[in-house]
Structure 1
Amino acid sequence: MDWLEDFRPQIYELFAEAEQRIHRFPAPLNVLGLHYLSGFDIRKQGSIKNYICYLLPFWLERTLTMRLHHLSPTSLLPVAKLAALGNVMGMLHFFIQDDLMDRQDRQSDGIDRQQLVPLSQMLHSEFLLILSQTTHDQARLWEYYHRFVSEWASAVSLEQESDYFAQDRQKIAGKASPLKLSAALLLLEARLPDQLPVLMQQLDEVLIALQMNDDAADWPEDLADGNYNCLLSLIRQELSIKSTSSTDVPMSIAVPVLTEQRVHQAIYDHHILRRYAAIAADGYLAVSPSSSIPYLNHFHAYLIRQLNRMTEQVDQHRNLLMQQGSLWYHARISP
Structure 2
Amino acid sequence: MYWFEKYKPELELIFAQAKTYINRYPPSLKEHGFRYIEAYNPLNETSTKNYICYLLPYWTQEATGITTEQCRQLSLAEVFIMLYLFLQDDVMDTRPAQIKEPLALSSLFYNTALSLYRQLFPSESPFWNAFDQCTAEWAEGVTQEGYANYFLTNPFHITLKAAPIKLAFEGAVYLGGRIHIQDVLSHEVNNALIALQMVDDYYDWEEDMAEGNYNSLLAWITYKLDLSSFEELTAATVRQSIFTLGHFDGFAQFALLLHHAPTVASELHDFQHLLIQVLVEEANRIQRQKELLFEGGFTHFLSIL
Q: TM-score with structure 1 length normalisation?
A: 0.83
Does structure 2 retain, via aligned residues, the 8 Å contact 1:235–1:272?
yes
Aligned pairs, how many?
Answer: 298
Write out aligned runs for 1:1-335 (5 A).
Answer: 2-65=2-65, 76-106=67-97, 112-135=98-121, 138-240=124-226, 253=228, 257-285=232-260, 287-289=261-263, 292-318=264-290
Does structure 1 retain, via aligned residues, the 8 Å contact 2:8–2:43?
no
Letter in 2 for 1:298: D
Letter in 2 for 1:58: Y
Cα deviation code 1:103-161 (max 9, x no counterpart): 2342xxxxx33210000000000010110111467531111100111111112211111
Q: Which runs of 5+ in 1 are unaligned?
A: 66-74, 107-111, 244-252, 327-335
CA distance in 1, matches of 2:123, 2:25: 29
Letter in 2 for 1:97: Q
SS of residue in 2 equivalent to 1:133: helix
**Higher mean C-alpha displacement, 274-283 vs 37-46:** 37-46
SS of residue in 1 equivalent to 2:7: helix
Structure 1 residue ranges, 4+ long, deviating more than 3 angstroms after superposition? 62-65, 135-138, 253-256, 315-326
Gap change, CA 1:22 and 1:322, over 3 Å in 2: farther
In the TM superposition, what is the alpha-carbon distance from 1:95 to its structure 2 partner?
Answer: 0.9
Counterpart of 1:109 in structure 2 is none
Q: TM-score with structure 2 length normalisation?
A: 0.91
Letter in 2 for 1:308: V
In the TM superposition, what is the alpha-carbon distance from 1:23 to its structure 2 partner?
Answer: 2.0
Does structure 1 retain, via aligned residues, the 8 Å contact 2:62–2:265?
no
Letter in 2 for 1:90: I
Gap change, CA 1:254 and 1:175, over 3 Å in 2: closer
CA distance in 1, matches of 2:33, 2:290: 43
CA distance in 2, matches of 1:255, 1:12: 42
Letter in 2 for 1:23: N
Alignment root-mean-square deviation, CA = 2.1
Gap change, CA 1:99 and 1:275, over 3 Å in 2: same
CA distance in 1, matches of 2:275, 2:259: 10
CA distance in 2, matches of 1:103, 1:200: 31
Letter in 2 for 1:78: E
**Higher mean C-alpha displacement, 192-201 vs 260-269:** 192-201
- Normalized per residue, the structure richer in helix is 2
Cα deviation code 1:224-269 (max 9, x no counterpart): 11111000110111112xx6xxxxxxxxx56661111111100110
In the TM superposition, what is the alpha-carbon distance from 1:86 to its structure 2 partner?
Answer: 0.7
CA distance in 2, matches of 1:192, 1:198: 11
Q: Which runs of 5+ in 2 are unaligned?
A: 299-305
Does structure 1 retain, via aligned residues, the 8 Å contact 2:75–2:168?
yes
